[in-house]
């Protein structure tokens, strides 16, 4: 069955350092979404990737979808304390509209 791993589980960085989280699937994904959840808050949509090899940027955030549509990454350049939270990938397998969330990467930024 579908298996998607999100790594790392935790990441502590100094403010100003870069951060990357990865979402890896054993099967092809139809699309992938990324969400951010602040401590005590609810998941908030960041972006959706649909095309093979797609790269999208939002200010300091860069999102990539692998050529085989089996993996994705979220990279934050020069982290700030406002980046603190848990980042989730969410994916739907081909032919379904059922979104499954990854286990998340909890980011802590040390000032």
Listed residue (58, 6, 1, 8) closest to 32, CA to CA = 6
Q: Which of 20, 62, 77, 103 is close enough to bind another protein by CB under 8 A?
A: 103
CB of 23 to another protein, least distance (A): 11
Place of tokens 């797609």: 54
User: Footprint of another protein on residues 27-56 (CB under 8 A)?
Assistant: 30-31, 33, 41-45, 48, 50
CB of 92 to another protein, least distance (A): 6
Q: For another protein, which is the closer residue by CB, 66 or 102?
A: 102
CB of 111 to another protein, least distance (A): 24
Question: Strands, DSSP E only, in 1-111?
Answer: 4-7, 10-14, 19-25, 29-37, 44-49, 55-58, 61-65, 71-76, 85-93, 100-101, 105-110
Q: Which of 3, 82, 98, 111 is close enough to bind another protein by CB under 8 A?
A: 98
Q: What is the number of other CB atoms lying within 10 angstroms of the CB of residue 31?
A: 18
Q: Where are the alpha helices (DSSP H) in the chain?
A: none
Q: Where do contacts with another protein occur on this chain (CB under 8 A)?
A: 6, 30-31, 33, 41-45, 48, 50, 88, 90, 92, 97-104
């Amino acid at each position: 069955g579908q298996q998607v791993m999100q790594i790392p589980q935790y990441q502590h960085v100094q403010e100003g350092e870069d951060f990357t989280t990865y979402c890896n699937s054993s099967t092809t994904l139809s699309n992938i979404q990324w969400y951010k959840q602040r401590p005590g808050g609810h998941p908030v949509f960041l972006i959706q990737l649909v095309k093979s090899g797609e790269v999208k940027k939002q200010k300091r955030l860069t999102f990539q979808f692998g050529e085989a549509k089996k993996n994705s990454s979220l990279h934050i350049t020069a982290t700030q304390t406002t980046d603190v939270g848990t980042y989730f990938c969410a994916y739907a397998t081909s032919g379904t509209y059922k979104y499954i969330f990854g286990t998340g990467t909890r980011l802590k930024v040390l000032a």
